[in-house]
Every structure is written in structure tokens, then in C-alpha cells.
Amino acid sequence: MRQSNGHLSWAMLSAIVTRGAACTYCGCAEDLVTHHKIPRRYGGLDVLDNLEPVCRSCHPAVEQEAVERAKLVWERPEWPDRPRRPRQRPALRRPY
């Protein structure tokens, strides 16, 4: 996911984070993935400060912990109270 023209692509960020690195939790240097410290669904960005290398075997536990931490500080945005427009049914067009 690109955030602006000035940011690196996800493939490039992932390569930078995992190249020559070890898992930050178990120290394994094989089968690494790039993990968001603050998950994207909770406002985390695709920037180097928010990424860390984690091996695939540690990733599920690390992800669960990151989500629990993010839920503690994340606040749902306030949406304006606007009434929704009623949906209009599409007009049926006869082919003849």
C-alpha cells in the first residue's frame, strides 16, 4: 500500500527490514516477514519506524500482542451524524 509518491513501495520496505536481520523475538534469521508494530487497521503506517522483522513461527503471537496493545490506545473516529440517503432501486430497462 503506497501512502504517497515520496514513500517506498511495500516490497522495498519489506526487503529493507528483513535483509540481514533476525527475528526480534526469538533471534531466528530464517523465514522472516515484516511486521507492523502498530497494525494498519489501528492507524499504523508503512514506515520503517513501525516495521520490524519477525519469523513466521513467532508472527501469530506477535500480531495478537500488537493488536491487544493497539486496542488499548486506539479511539474510534467520531463520524458526523448524518441521515443516510435511501437507496434507490435501479430502473429496469427493457431490451426491446
Which amino acid makes up residue 82? R
Kindly report, residue by residue over 23-40, the tens digit of the pLDDT: 999 999 999 999 999 999
Give 40-71 as a DSSP string. Answer: GGGT--SSGGGEEEEETTTHHHHHHHHHHHHH
pLDDT of 3 reads 52
Looking at residue 13, the DSSP 8-state letter turns out to be H
Could you tell me which residue, 4 or 61, shows the higher pLDDT?
61
Q: What is the pTM of this model?
A: 0.67
Q: How far apart are CA 95 and CA 91, in angstroms?
A: 12
Q: How far apart are CA 13 and CA 60, in angstroms?
A: 20
pLDDT of 79 reads 66
pLDDT of 2 reads 42
- Over 70: is that where the pLDDT of 60 sits? yes
Could you tell me which residue, 3 or 18, shows the higher pLDDT?
18
Q: What is the mean pLDDT of the chain?
A: 84
Q: Is 14 exposed, middle or buried (0-12, 13-18, 19+ CB in 10 A)?
A: middle
